Structure 1
Amino acid sequence: MHITVYSSPGCMPCFGTKRALTKHGVPFTEVDVTTDPSAVEQITALDPEYKSTPVVVVLFDDGTIDHWHGLRDNKLQALAYLAAEAAV
């Protein structure tokens, strides 16, 4: 499982998302949309309605993709569970 968090400076939902992932030991890659010119294109390719950060993209080992925007506790808890299961 590979997780990418698209974030921006000063974004409190971004901070909360990254904090939750880190707290549960879930590895992720962070992409700052203000410094990566292709990041906005990548986000809008997923869903043109994504206008704010964070945007979280999860690529599962079977090739399926899940993505969402905003601070989603239910999704973050599910990722923590999956990461813990994978570590066993």
Structure 2
Amino acid sequence: MEQHTVVLYGKPGCGPCVAVKAALERAGIEYVYVDVTTSPEGLEHVRELGYQHTPVIETSDDHWTDFRPDKLAALAKGLGS
């Protein structure tokens, strides 16, 4: 994964996924969205990270699940947003 790459793994109808997308966009954080319902590779990667549900947010040095305002704020600060 490239430095400063943010990947959001989500699926349609996922409320927390929408909240994470909105927070990333408000903070001006560029991200790649992977729909785990259409990307078998994305779904497998989420499972390899140990998660069973979305959203999963992955950065160059961290990953977590759910809408975590604390993590998103730290990410924005770390990326200079």
Q: Name the counterpart of 2:65.
A: 69
> Normalising by structure 1, what TM-score?
0.84
Q: CA–CA distance in 2 between the matches of 1:44 and 1:51?
A: 6
Confirm or deny that 1:9 pairs with 2:7. Answer: no
Aligned mates of 2:76, 2:19 — CA distance in 1: 14
Which blocks of at least 5 consecutive residues in structure 1 are unaligned?
A: 60-64
Equivalent residue letter for 1:7: G
Helix, strand or coil for the counterpart of 1:56?
Answer: strand
Please give the alpha-carbon distance, in whole angstroms, between the structure 2 residues aligned to 1:25 and 1:57.
16
CA RMSD of aligned residues (A): 1.0
Gaps of 5+ in 2: none
Identity %: 40
1:22 maps to a residue whose letter is E
Give me the TM-score of the superposition, normalised by structure 2: 0.91
Shift of 1:84: 1.9
Range 76-85 or range 4-13, more displaced: 76-85
Q: CA deviation at 1:82?
A: 1.4
Partner Cα separation in structure 2 for residue 40 and residue 10 of structure 1: 16
CA distance in 1 between partners of 2:40 and 2:53 (Å): 15
